[in-house]
Amino acid sequence: MKTEFTPLKNVVTLDAPNGQITWGDAKNFVLFAGPDIIEDEGMVIETGLEIKRVTDALGIPWILKCSFDKANRQSASSFRGPGMKSALHSLDKIKSKLGCALITDVHETIQVEETAQYAEVIQIPAFLSRQTDLLVAAAKTGRVIHIKKGQFLAPWDMKAIAQKAVQAGNSKLLLCDRGTTFGYNRLVNDMTGLVEMRRLGFPVVMDCTHSTQLPGATGESSGGRSDMVWPLARAAVAVGVDGIFVETHPNPAEALCDGPTSLPLKNLEGFLKNLQLIFKTHQA
């Protein structure tokens, strides 16, 4: 059985330090992976070296994912990171050491220009997906833009959002699903929505970790169901996505942000082998 997805006319390419990366050609899926936020350089390097080892062995294109700030934490006392300038300098050193590209998110227009100096892919958070000024500023950098679908939006609503970036002169767009709000403390994923978004003409990414989030579940922070990361990823790859987004940590129980949704780093190799097998089976 062939994958539902066929090559797109709007293939997105990136010349990364670890080789050219392509979304939309239906030949492979690209992996965004790393810890949710930079806690310290050592932890990110440890995580990145293991991801690099596994992805090199499996031939999976990989971009390091790590945030410099988490501006949407539920509690004002929650860890947000070391600050933009310090974190970006650290991430630049880390990606140079690992020989990889970087994806990180921005929350305000004032952050975009400086972030674009360090990150090859700029991420628009789901809560901010309709923020026109932020989208336009990110688009004008010429970087690849990863737009997460708001939890409050239908897949087809992303057409108008993508057009904001296109009208600003940038069609290097990736559209991402990270779950849709359903009742209290619960997100759901509609696999047909991945197909709907891809029919808009842009590559599609599945965020398999944030989709397991239980927003505000503890009262002070979000909970999560990391045991559901694998089922969601398998389903998305079987449908035929262009990319998989997964946050991973050496010890999720001690992670300073989104530990309950993070994939344990020790499970990454088995996870990716499983996904790769499914992807190849559906391309046969």
Q: Which of 117, 86, 196, 185 is nearest to 149 (CA)?
A: 196
Q: What is the pLDDT of residues 233-243, one digit of tens each?
A: 999 999 999 99
pLDDT at position 74 over 60:
no
Q: What mean pLDDT is predicted for residues 59-82?
A: 77
Q: What mean pLDDT is predicted for residues 254-278?
A: 91
Mean pLDDT score of the chain: 91
Q: Specify the pLDDT at position 182.
A: 82
Q: How far from chain centre, in Å, is Cα 116?
A: 16
Q: What mean pLDDT is predicted for residues 7-18?
A: 95
- Confirm whether 122 is domain-assigned: yes
Higher model confidence: residue 215 or residue 26? 26
**What amino acid occupies position 155?**
P
DSSP lists the bridge partners of residue 29 as none
- Residues 147/176, Cβ–Cβ less than 8 Å: yes
- Residues 174/144, Cβ–Cβ less than 8 Å: yes
- Confirm whether 170 is domain-assigned: yes
Residue 173 is part of a domain; what is its CATH number? 3.20.20.70
Strands 62-65 and 102-105: parallel
**What amino acid occupies position 66?**
C
- Confirm whether 143 is domain-assigned: yes
The total number of structural domains in the chain stands at: 1
- Confirm whether 276 is domain-assigned: no
- Confirm whether 18 is domain-assigned: yes
Whole-angstrom Cα distance, residue 222 to residue 247?
15
- Confirm whether 1 is domain-assigned: no
- Confirm whether 109 is domain-assigned: yes
Q: What is the pLDDT of residues 92-125, one digit of tens each?
A: 999 999 999 999 999 999 999 999 999 999 999 9
* Burial grade of 159 (CB within 10 A; 0-12, 13-18, 19 or more): middle
Q: Specify the pLDDT at position 255.
A: 79
pTM of structure: 0.93
Q: What are phi and psi of 130, to 5 degrees?
A: -100, 5
Q: Which of 168, 177, 173 is nearest to 212 (CA)?
A: 177
pLDDT at position 244 over 60:
yes
Q: Which of 233, 210, 99 is nearest to 146 (CA)?
A: 210
pLDDT at position 217 over 60:
no
pLDDT at position 1 over 60:
no
DSSP lists the bridge partners of residue 263 as 248
Q: Which residue segment(s) compose the domain that 41 sits in?
A: 12-271
pLDDT at position 2 over 60:
no
- Confirm whether 68 is domain-assigned: yes
